[in-house]
Structure 1
Amino acid sequence: MSTLTLHETRAGMDAASAGFGHTLHAEWIKLWSVRSTWWTMIALVVLGAGLTTLICWGNAEWLASSDADEAPGAFITWGMMIAQVCAVIIGTLAVTSEYGSGMIRTSFAAVPRRGSVFLAKAVVVCGVLFVVGTLTALLGYLGGNHFLAREGIGLPLEGDVARAMYGCGLFLAALGLLSMAVGFLVRHTAAAISIVLATVFVIGNMVMLIPGQLGEWITKLMPGNAASALVAPVSFNPDALGAWTGFGVMLAEVAALCAAAWWLLGRRDA
């Protein structure tokens, strides 16, 4: 009897694994079958790599002069600050586009365990944004460092510079996951994108107006600010949290939001 139970357990695990594999494949197809995904990815690469190259070209001579009050490393991933808008859009649309079309009901009918759908979307969105974000940062580095090297201030791809490359990928992946969680919570494209962009770009800067150490710490802990040191060899903000400490804070915030979205997902009608 114990042998039979063991075989049944293994068969059940194999079936569950295969089931999640199908769900993962379906989410991959759904993400890339939407035209907006392609345009947003193109915009991410153009903004991330293009703006980094442009800003390095325009400031290389100044950065090499004695008048410069910023380090070249602060500019080598500059375009990724703008490209994060595209990560927000990708993460949001991966969820809200299905709610808008009603396709989410079909997804949940095919996969009754809604947590599997959530997890599959998270794996696909985070994986894609990590790869695209890292490659975009590398393209920006190659373009921008060309102009820095001409002025004798080129940066070798090692140490904090190398960390910033995959740090950009990690940051965009976390931002996409945060946007995905907000998408599940509000289930509306414009509202979700507005909430995330307002939190990252507007509220994240406005809280610094709060006087005293309270304002300083709230500013450091805001999602968009916490991991800012991870995405650049030298941060524009000397008071920012350390690269990995800040990213850990951001991950904790994203995890809390995902937990809330996961909980509500199983308790609300599609």
Structure 2
Amino acid sequence: MTTTIASVVEPRARFRDLVASEWLKLWSLRSTGWSLLLGALAVVAFNVGAAWDHYRYWFAYDEASRVAFVADGLALGDAFTGNAATVLVLCSAAMGAVAVVGEYGSGQVRTTFAAVPARGALVSARALVLAGVQTGFGAVVAGGSFWASQAVLSLRGVGVSPGHPGAVRLVVASALLAPVCALAGMALGAVLRRGAAAVVGAVVLLLLLPMVLSEERRLTAVLAHTAPFRAWHRLAGEGVAGPFPWSTGGAWSVYGAWAVVAVLVTVVAVRRRDQ
């Protein structure tokens, strides 16, 4: 007598199920909500603080300086300052690194890979969730900063509206800087697998290197232009002049290239290691 045992084949996880799982996993971390809240407050505070300084010391400017304040785009510069962009880069990159490193540190990654052997799909779902959350975060802080800073400046009659030349581009570029840096942080986390190392790597790669590269020589200028932080400066209206100027289209392409390469690096790093 022959006994036939039917084999049970587990159905492959659908991509939308992986996205839902990664969404729940991200928000199950207590650090997620607090990181987003504190990061948003810090970024908005830097921008509103810059606008408040101009409001407070307005009477110290002569008439020509007041006219130039709007003509030269200084009012728009208060909507999202370089210091605020630096804080945004750090917060987003750190959150991206934690999204990967946390599982490796706790050992939960073994369970995750056992449940979902398709690591490429898993990483893609995680990247999609991370990018979506960070895009929403960036939109809130960029839009909130613009509204609050210009409300302060409007008390002196120098605030600008969203229809001001370059205003929409500044807000969109500032908002999208968050997901780009978060995906870069995720890639560093997948490669280095240590939270502190990934954060330090993000600081060096995303902030320090772009700062030390000179715009005076072609090679270093081209290298500087490949950094998301320098791309944000270009889209914000800075970095237009100089011996080697570049276009806004080139700056947008830097954003896209970093996002795509970061996801690819993460997928390769996760696939090539046992855990």
TM-score range, shorter chain: 0.7 to 0.9
Higher helix share: 1
Aligned to 1:53: 48
| Pair 1:219 & 2:214 matched | no
Task: From the superposition, tell whether residues 126 and 201 of structure 1 become closer, same or farther in structure 2 (CA, over 3 Å).
Answer: same
Out of 71-80 and 221-230, give the one that drifted further. Answer: 221-230
Q: Distance in 2 between matches of 1:93 and 1:137?
A: 23
Task: From the superposition, tell whether residues 215 and 63 of structure 1 become closer, same or farther in structure 2 (CA, over 3 Å).
Answer: farther
Q: How does 1:187-198 map to 2 (within 5 A)?
A: 187-198=193-204
Q: Could you report, residue by residue, the CA deviation over 1:6-46 in whole angstroms, capped at 9, with x for unpaired residues?
A: xxxxxxxxx76x62122111111111111111221012210
Q: Distance in 1 between matches of 2:73 and 2:21?
A: 46
Residue 63 of structure 1 deviates from its aligned partner by 8.0
Q: Distance in 1 between matches of 2:181 and 2:252?
A: 11
| Pair 1:268 & 2:273 matched | yes
- TM-score, structure 2 normalization: 0.83
Structure 1 gaps of 5+ residues are 1-14
Residue 123 of structure 1 deviates from its aligned partner by 0.6
CA RMSD of aligned residues (A): 2.3
Q: Distance in 1 between matches of 2:262 and 2:140?
A: 28
Aligned to 1:199: 205
Q: Distance in 2 between matches of 1:223 and 1:132?
A: 17
Out of 192-201 and 243-252, give the one that drifted further. Answer: 243-252
Is contact 1:64–1:152 with CA below 8 Å preserved after alignment? no
Pick aligned residue for 1:119 from 124, 127, 132 = 124
Task: From the superposition, tell whether residues 63 and 165 of structure 1 become closer, same or farther in structure 2 (CA, over 3 Å).
Answer: farther
Q: Number of matched residues? A: 252
Q: Could you report, residue by residue, the CA deviation over 1:36-90 in whole angstroms, capped at 9, with x for unpaired residues?
A: 1122101221012121111111124278953457622122112243222111111
Aligned to 2:77: 74
Query: Which structure has the larger Rg over C-alpha atoms?
Result: 2
Aligned to 1:157: 162
Task: From the superposition, tell whether residues 243 and 63 of structure 1 become closer, same or farther in structure 2 (CA, over 3 Å).
Answer: farther
